[in-house]
Amino acid sequence: MNAVDTYAEAWNGIRNGFESGRLAHAYVIVGSPRGNALQFSESFLKLLFCRNAEKPCNECTACRQVETHRHVDTLWIEPQSKSRQILADDVRGLIHRMTQTSFEGGWKAGVILCAECMNVSSENALLKTLEEPPPKTILLLVTDSPQGLLPTIISRCQKIVLSEQHAGALNAEWYEPVMNILRDLPPRNGLAAAKSASQLKVIFDVVKEGIAESVIEELDLSDEALDESKLKDILEARTNARLKEVQADVFRVMLNWHRDVLLLASGLSDAELIFPDESEPLQRQASRQTQGSALQSIQTLESMAVRLDRNIPALQIFDEAFRKLVRP
Ligand SMILES: [Zn+2]
């Protein structure tokens, strides 16, 4: 089934907007950048460019060019395979293209896949365009981790949520308790570091319980092919996989927090912050750091993020991270 049929309500909103000439200039599409959100974006673009009356026809040249990502008036960008970042130069190229006239005299579109991989300078480059979008342009930010985007970017885009599971991260139950831990950083000593780690463990335990409950709801318990031990295995595997995603999200928030500390320690204004609402604790932490020490914290965390991708228990990594952040 195509994403357009699965997410009929969201799709009808886009179609009505298109037909009445009231599309927004920018959309955040929350879902899988390789799955449902990609498909949805392609359908969106076909709607803009299709040459037949029944749009999208999925058959005309324009529709097929959209599908192969070769349409002349659409530019796709995604993270560089090595750094896994979307570079500011790529974003600037996309913005530049969107300010030029279209080849076919109609719409111009830009799609940023895995938009959460934009670094701070990429996001700032994009912000200016979001404030003054060129006419007849559409920008699609496709992401499964909207919490990795600047709140100021999200607020300037219309949101289309295809996966509640991913969208939830923004207002997830863990967000506020994790922020509480971050506001208290850096730990005064090893004991304080251990305390932060154990607070985090409690948070993950609660999250895990919630995930397990929703996985049980999804499982088809009446399926006779599944005996009890198989069900148990599936439950455990799915729960752990999702818990891992949450842990990666928490780590990303922690990393972004330290990027903000670095920004402030480098004397930049708090208008650039990823967490503008947290300016006070961030300022306090930054005042105790030099640019060098703040940078070092980020490098430490980044090197640990790599290990999170391997099969090392997350709690062990967080525990080590907190200990490394202890004030010298
Ligand atoms: Zn078509």
Encode pLDDT of 228-243 as tens digits: 788 888 888 888 888 8
For residue range 3-42, what is the model confidence (pLDDT) as tens digits?
788 788 889 999 999 999 999 999 999 988 988 899 999 9
Distance CA(52)–CA(320), nearest Å, equals 59
Q: What angle do CA 17, 20, 21 make, to 5 degrees?
A: 80
CATH number at residue 54: 3.40.50.300
pTM: 0.56
201 and 287 share a domain? yes
| Residues flanking ion ligand 1, Cβ below 5 Å | 50, 52, 57, 60, 63
**Distance from residue 60's CA to the centre of ligand 1 (Å):** 4
The predicted structure's pLDDT at residue 27: 96
Cα distance between residue 199 and residue 120, in whole Å: 29
pLDDT at 298: 92
Same domain, 207 and 284: yes
**Number of domains observed in the structure of the chain:** 2
Letter string b/e over residues 272-290, b meaning 16 or more CB atoms within 10 A of that residue's CB: bbbbeebeebbeebbeebe
| Whole-angstrom distance, CA of residue 85 vs CA of residue 145 | 14
Instruction: Judge if 184 and 277 occupy the same domain.
Output: yes
Q: Are residues 66 and 144 in the same domain?
A: yes
Last residue of a domain, one of 130, 148, 166: 166
pLDDT at 204: 93
Q: Are residues 32 and 146 in the same domain?
A: yes
**pLDDT tens by residue, 164-198:** 555 554 556 788 899 999 999 999 999 999 999 99
User: Structure tokens of 141?
Assistant: 């930010």
Half-sphere exposure of residue 272: CA atoms within 13 angstroms, side-chain side = 18
pLDDT confidence of residue 132: 86
Q: DSSP letter for 70, please.
A: -
Rounded-to-integer distance, Cα 289 and Cα 165, Å: 37
Distance (Å) from CA 102 to ligand 1 centroid: 18
Q: Is 274 found in the same domain as 146?
A: no
CB neighbourhood size of 304 (10 A): 18
Above 80 in pLDDT, residue 322? yes
By residue range, what is the domain housing residue 76? 3-166
Q: Which of 144, 166, 188 is the last residue of a domain?
A: 166
Distance 47 CA to ligand 1 centre (A): 8
How far, in Å, from the CA of 96 to the mean position of ligand 1? 27
Distance (angstroms) between ligand 1 centre and the Cα of 5 equals 17
Determine the pLDDT at residue 9: 84
Same-domain pairing of 247 and 108? no
Looking at the structure, tell me whether residues 235 and 88 fall in a common domain: no
Among 146, 166, 186, the domain-final residue is 166
Q: Would you state the pLDDT for residue 193? A: 95
Question: What are phi and psi for residue 230, nearest 5 degrees?
Answer: -65, -45
Higher pLDDT, 309 or 48: 48
**Ligand 1: centre distance to CA 93 (Å):** 27
The Cα–Cα gap between 213 and 173 comes to 15
What's the 64 CA to ligand 1 centre distance in angstroms? 7
Together in a domain, 7 and 155 = yes
- The alpha carbon of 66 and the centre of ligand 1 are apart by a number of angstroms equal to 9
Residue 251: band (very low, low, confident or very high) from pLDDT cuts 50, 70, 90: confident
| Same domain flag for 14 and 161 | yes
Q: Is 69 exposed, middle or buried (0-12, 13-18, 19+ CB in 10 A)?
A: middle
Q: Are residues 104 and 188 in the same domain?
A: no
241 and 189 within one domain: yes
Dist. CA 68 → ligand 1 center (Å): 13
